[in-house]
Amino acid sequence: MSETLSPIDTAKFVAAKQAVGFVEDGMKLGLGTGSTAAWMVRCLAERIREEGLNIVGVPTSTRTAELARSLGIKVISLDEAKWLDMTIDGADEFDDELNLIKGGGGALLQEKIVATASDQMVVISDASKSVETLGAFPLPVEVIPFGWQTSKALLEEALNSMDVLGQSATLRMNGEAPYVTDEGNHILDLHLQRIGNARQLALVLNQVPGLVENGLFIDICDKVVIGHGDGRVEVRDIITGENTEGMVEFADTDNIFADL
């Protein structure tokens, strides 16, 4: 399989495979959303199939739920699980303190609820998502459809007093229509360029009427697994302060990865 993957897909695959290695029998897992998380779900299904692990997953979107079920992973709701041992998810950006921007896949609300209901959050990523300062990736915020233009105006006004370079917000579209989240809401993408104080910004954004949640994940991620195109993986642990590096072995696999 390694010969058919692009460097970026190789990086995502090895990060996912390394992270799934942290999973233990009997765990209740939060299953993230996005292209990197899709690799993780498939790697998890492979471990379940080959090792007979007794694992249940709580998906963060309908598409992750559909993928997990199609691969034989038992899926339950967060209300059924109540609390999770671990969540594995991707990120759009992360800094040295493992603060994140998430929501590029449109599932930030469920992702944040699931991640905060977990003993630990492990982020899987390629090296391009590592940044010195958050903000180059547009920051998603989820807003209810009612009065969204008012919410947008209030958001842009609030940004005037924040330590950011850009202050514009755009409604995310799905073709000719506004993008709709699993909860029936819309997403505004904030084009900030640089976020000087992510913690302060997260608090201010959530005071805007109509805003449901923002894509800043502060003090939630415990560990990030960074994949590289040559098969190397780095693991940064914010709890222990340890940084480790290794290689993930490639092997030809069944059609579990055939459509990626």
Is 24 catalytic? The answer is no
CB 141 within 8 A of CB 171: no
Q: CB burial class (10 A; 0-12, 13-18, 19+) of residue 259? A: exposed
Q: Which listed residue (111, 142, 213, 234) is catalytic?
A: 111
- Determine the Cα–Cα distance for residues 36 and 197; give it in Å rounded to an integer: 27
H or E segment and range at residue 149? helix 148-159
- DSSP tag of 220: -
Determine contact, residues 37/17, Cβ cutoff 8 Å: no
- Identify any residues that bridge with 189 across adjacent strands, giving them in sequence order: 140, 170
Active site residues: 111
